[in-house]
Amino acid sequence: MLQRVNDSVTGRAESFEVIDGPANSRYVIVCDHASNWIPPEYGNLGLDPLQLKRHIAYDIGAAALTRTLARELAAPAVLSHFSRLLIDPNRGDDDPTLVMKLSDGAVVPGNAKVDDAEVARRIARFSGPYHAAIDRVIDRSLAAGVSPILFSIHSFTPVFHDGPRPWHCAVLWEGDGRFALPLLAALRAEPDIVTGENEPYAGALKGDSMTRHGLDRGLPHAIVEVRQDLLDDEAGIAAWAARFSRILTGLIVK
């Protein structure tokens, strides 16, 4: 059952979604950049609506993959319900890219004069409740006697400034390879895909979502990145969900 929970601070805007799953599920799925939604009062941050359909606003295909995989694994999942352009929940609160003023060539007018007070408001309204929701799902698992494995789903563009990206997917990790390394080995054993390690982004990002909920809490975790052109229709999403479901179900994590 999909639960969309109202923001616990304002009672108005929805900052996250929780997909219910058994407390004793082996996995908790997280999707940091699930949505391109911006509240009307922010006026699209001054951007043309077409810009909000680009990867600068959210991870295209990641939400659908998360929902499908959560259903296949019968696992709980937490998804953001706000655009990363408002505030990026996969950044530490003191990260200079927490609120982007320029993203992949697009100037974000609504972020140009954001001060510390506005950043604090956005943390309280959006990223704070989202992270609190993840903590509640984890705490519920721990209370049930299960130390959950965190599986964070992201997506990346097939082409960036330096040209085409050859990977179909990648595993990002740093500091704790209990889950990431067996997952990486299993994906690299798949004959039909190319899997990167800490590509096209580094796995070490101070204060990011998996540091906060995985590394700092001593839980096995990994980020998976899937190329967005492989998630642009229902067939692609279903295929990747089936692949991950098969791999995760049989994975041995010590």
Give the model's pLDDT for residue 201: 86
N-term to C-term CA, the chain: 31
Domain range for 35: 2-250
Give the model's pLDDT for residue 12: 29
**In whole angstroms, how far apart are CA 36 and each of 30, 49, 50, 141, 191?**
16, 10, 11, 29, 34
The kind and range of the H/E element at 19 are strand 14-19
**119, 86 in Cβ contact below 8 A?**
no
Beta bridge partners of 79: 17, 31
Segments of the chain scoring below 70 in pLDDT: 1-13, 105
Exposure on the CB side of residue 40, measured as CA atoms within 13 A = 1
Mean pLDDT of the chain: 92
Report the number of distinct structural domains present in the chain.
1
Dihedral sign (CA 27, 133, 15, 84): negative
Verdict on whether the full-model pTM lies above 0.75: yes
Q: In CATH, what number is assigned to the domain containing residue 188? A: 3.40.630.40
Q: What one-letter code names the amino acid at 149?
A: I
pLDDT one-digit tens code per residue, 237-253: 999 999 999 999 999 99
**38, 84 in Cβ contact below 8 A?**
no
Beta bridge partners of 80: 16
Residue listed under structure tokens 């998996």? 210
Give the model's pLDDT for residue 103: 83
Encoded tokens for 191? 């004959």
Instruction: Report DSSP letters for 101-145, one per residue.
Output: SEETTEE-GGGTT--HHHHHHHIIIIIHHHHHHHHHHHHHHHHTT
Mention every residue, 6+ apart, whose C-beta is less than 8 A from residue 199: 165, 167, 170, 225
Cα–chain center distance at 53: 17
Dihedral sign (CA 119, 217, 201, 170): negative
